[in-house]
Amino acid sequence: MECPKFAVSVDLVVLTVRDEALCALVVRRGVEPYRGAWALPGGFVLDDEGLEEAAARELAEETGIRPGSVHVEQLATYGSPGRDPRTRVVTVAYLALAPDLPVPAAGSDAADARWCPVEALLAGDELAFDHAAILRDGVERARSKLEYSPLGAAFCAEEFTVAELRRVYEIVWGARLDPRNFHRKVTKTEAFLEPTGATTTRDGGRPAQLFRRGSAEHLHPPLLRRTT
């Protein structure tokens, strides 16, 4: 077929909440271009490999994250002619929301990998390619997702308390929420949380019920930021 052919890659915005901050996974580039700079994990799509499949493979390769424990969704595609100095590369970005995991193992072409607060990454100018813009879009998507879906729980461990979930919202949104109203809201919303029956005192004070992620996909009505 007579048409231009481009390299196609996937890049991952992997977000988690740790140390009271929203953090993204970044890898130190071991090869040119941008050697030594931080970049989002990612790589080229292989022949006969689907996009989602490529994203899952890269996630596993560069982070050791097992697919079942994280939420992954397509974010957007970036293909400006000049975004990669080597050649034309179109990249499909994926957004992954993960619980707080140990620092991942470095992959083959990544000299180093670490969690870094998104605030620092977006304020600085250290990210390779157009990865700062991709990260910005991913963070904005994540913030919206918390409003309209129960995906805040994707940042929590398998079993978690309402207070832990609330901390996720507060950190991602950068806003304080009333603990009592938040509790009522999330426990009353059908299929948001599934009680385990167990309790924990790890947060201090009166024992808190433990929950698992429920089966709900959407939130009706949504949990809105700022009441305007």
Residues in touch with DNA (CB under 7 A): 161-163, 178-181, 183-185, 187, 199, 201, 203-209, 221, 223-224, 227-228
**The one segment of 11-19, 38-46, 106-114, 180-188 that binds a second copy by CB under 8 A:** 38-46
Query: Tokens representing 107?
Result: 């992959």
By the rule CB under 8 A, 80 interacts with a second copy: yes
Side-chain-side CA neighbours of residue 1 (13 Å): 3
Query: Tokens representing 218?
Result: 């959407």
**Distance, CA of 47 to CA of 7 (rounded, Å):** 11
- Give the start-end residues of each E strand in 81-165: 89-97, 110-117
Binding partner at 199 among a second copy, DNA, none, C-beta below 5 to 8 Å by kind: DNA
By the rule CB under 8 A, 44 interacts with a second copy: yes
Q: How far is the CB of 174 from a second copy (least distance, A)?
A: 18
Contact flags string 83-112 toward a second copy, x per CB under 8 A: ---xxx-x-x--------------------
**Distance, CA of 206 to CA of 11 (rounded, Å):** 43
* Sheet containing strand 21-29, strands side by side: 38-39, 21-29, 110-117
Binding partner at 49 among a second copy, DNA, none, C-beta below 5 to 8 Å by kind: a second copy
